Amino acid sequence: MTDNKYRADFPIFEKHPCVYLDSAATAQRPKCVIEAEKEFYETMNANPLRGLYDLSVKATDAYERSREEAASFIGASSPDEIIFTRNTSESLNLVAYSYAMDFLKPGDEIVTTVMEHHSNMLPWQMAAEKTGAKLLYLEPDEEGSFSDDEIMTKINDRTGLVAIGHVSNVLGCVNPVRKIADRAHRFGAVVVVDGAQSAPHMKVDINELGADFFAFSGHKLMGPMGIGVLYGRRELLEKMPPFLTGGEMIENVTLKGVTYAQIPHKFEAGTVNAAGAYGLAAAIRYIKDIGFDEIRRTEDELCERIFEGLSKSPHIHIQGSKDPQKHNGIVSFTIDDVHPHDIASILDADGVNIRAGHHCAQPLMDFLGVQSTARASIYLYNDEQDVAAFVEKTLNVRRWLGLES
């Protein structure tokens, strides 16, 4: 029996019993989120934002209330600053296309880091190429920390935009966003924060962080797939051109041209994912009810167990900080002479689900000097049994390949 009282909220563990340790890729969903999507389609489904009848008004209300929940979740002062997207990748691309491409020029510099997920790297590579801006990468030390010197040298009066991940999807470390943002703002640069791995695990306040843009996905915080959020500071959003054009984002269209709708609708072309937004709001309420302190406690405890367990083998190496509290539930590791894909397959045979590969962070793999890693990641529904099974199977992996344990 599990001692985790939240586990029963997740139907997947009953219908497909498994040890799920891949929440950094996507979380599982509690019943209340699944029910919310169903409730939307069963009781308030119509095309929001355009119908003149009661049902459409209901759909619109549900969608706009979800926007308010998302705004308050990250401390945005107005729901107008919340744009619903499909996911973090789309949110970051929106900033690259509608901000960077229009407001950066040759000679400007874009600063990001080598530890970014490809989603927070490729849009800036593209923006640099199109605008003639130069792209610079901050390099961390072995534990994933950026030195003051690195920050001071690379962020300067040429910097136009800084894009940084709040929590690394490989190392699990929290980056010093506030310090970087303060430096960037001194030179009038805008700060884009990839919150995909932080928003599910810690209280985010965009004002405390100093973020001008903050992106996160619904599916990593137990919401539905296909709904994501971009927070943008009002003055920036108002001066940016739309990302996609089409339905729902206009004020007036003639054969000669168009006046766009106000924010946030200017950035939400076409029929929106209202049911997804409604499900996301349910996930946010679920998290708020439990509280981040409680989520954090479970993650830290289990992470510590993993560190203890894996330390029994001299052949297992954990990437990043030696301190489990600095991993935010993300443990990337390698085993001597074993390819991470073999680790994942061997664990899968016993129903232990982990990720293996480059985690969409190939430049970080190169930087760490590994080709790929295996990664176990924890969320609030995991329990001691999960960790015990994972540790036992992982300690046994080398034996399966005919190597000494």
Partner 1 sequence: MSLESVYGQVLNEHNLHPFHKGETEGATLMLEGKNPTCGDDIFLQLKVSPEGIIEDGSFQGAGCAISQASVDIMLDLVIGETKERAMELCGEFMNMIQGKATQEEIDDLDEAGALKDISHMPARVKCAVLGWHTMEEILKK
The answer to whether 275 and 41 are in contact (CB under 8 A) is: yes
Question: Residue 405 interacts with partner 1 (CB under 8 A)?
Answer: no
Q: How many CB atoms lie within 10 A of CB 321?
A: 16
How far, CA to CA in Å, does 49 sit from each of 58, 236, 265, 301, 334?
10, 24, 9, 45, 50
Q: Which of residues 184-203 bind partner 1 (CB under 8 A)?
A: none
- Distance, CA of 167 to CA of 162 (rounded, Å): 15
Which residue's CB is nearer to partner 1, number 244 or number 403?
Answer: 403
Shortest distance, position 106 Cβ to partner 1, whole Å: 33
Which residue's CB is nearer to partner 1, number 137 or number 400?
Answer: 400
Scanning 191-199, 285-293, 315-323, 397-405 for contacts with partner 1 by CB under 8 A, the matching segment is 397-405
Question: Residue 401 interacts with partner 1 (CB under 8 A)?
Answer: yes
- What six digits make up the tokens of 316? 């297992």
Contacts of 308 (CB under 8 A, 6+ apart): none
The answer to whether 192 and 239 are in contact (CB under 8 A) is: no
Of 32, 173, 303, 360, the active-site residue reads 360
* Cis geometry, peptide bond prior to residue 264 (ω within 30 degrees of 0): yes
Scanning 47-55, 93-101, 225-233, 352-360 for contacts with partner 1 by CB under 8 A, the matching segment is 352-360
Q: Per-residue x/- mask for partner 1, residues 197 to 236, rule CB under 8 A? A: ----------------------------------------
Which residue's CB is nearer to partner 1, number 155 or number 368?
Answer: 368
Terminal CA-CA length for the chain: 30
Question: Residue 372 interacts with partner 1 (CB under 8 A)?
Answer: yes
Question: Residue 170 interacts with partner 1 (CB under 8 A)?
Answer: no
DSSP per-residue string spanning 276-327: HHHHHHHHHHHHHHH-HHHHHHHHHHHHHHHHHHHTT-TTEEE-S-S-GGGS
Question: Residue 358 interacts with partner 1 (CB under 8 A)?
Answer: yes
Catalytic annotation present for 32: no
Question: Residue 403 interacts with partner 1 (CB under 8 A)?
Answer: yes
Scanning 179-187, 289-297, 298-306, 336-344 for contacts with partner 1 by CB under 8 A, the matching segment is 336-344
Question: Residue 338 interacts with partner 1 (CB under 8 A)?
Answer: yes
Question: Residue 345 interacts with partner 1 (CB under 8 A)?
Answer: yes
CA angle 163, 168, 174 (to 5 degrees): 90
- DSSP category for residue 75: T
- What six digits make up the tokens of 91? 């949110």
CA angle 31, 37, 41 (to 5 degrees): 140
From candidates 58, 362, 389, 395, binder to partner 1 by CB under 8 A: 362
Scanning 98-106, 113-121, 157-165, 343-351 for contacts with partner 1 by CB under 8 A, the matching segment is 343-351
Shortest distance, position 225 Cβ to partner 1, whole Å: 20
Interface positions with partner 1 (CB under 8 A): 338-342, 344-346, 348-349, 356-358, 362, 371-372, 400-403
Annotated catalytic residues are 360
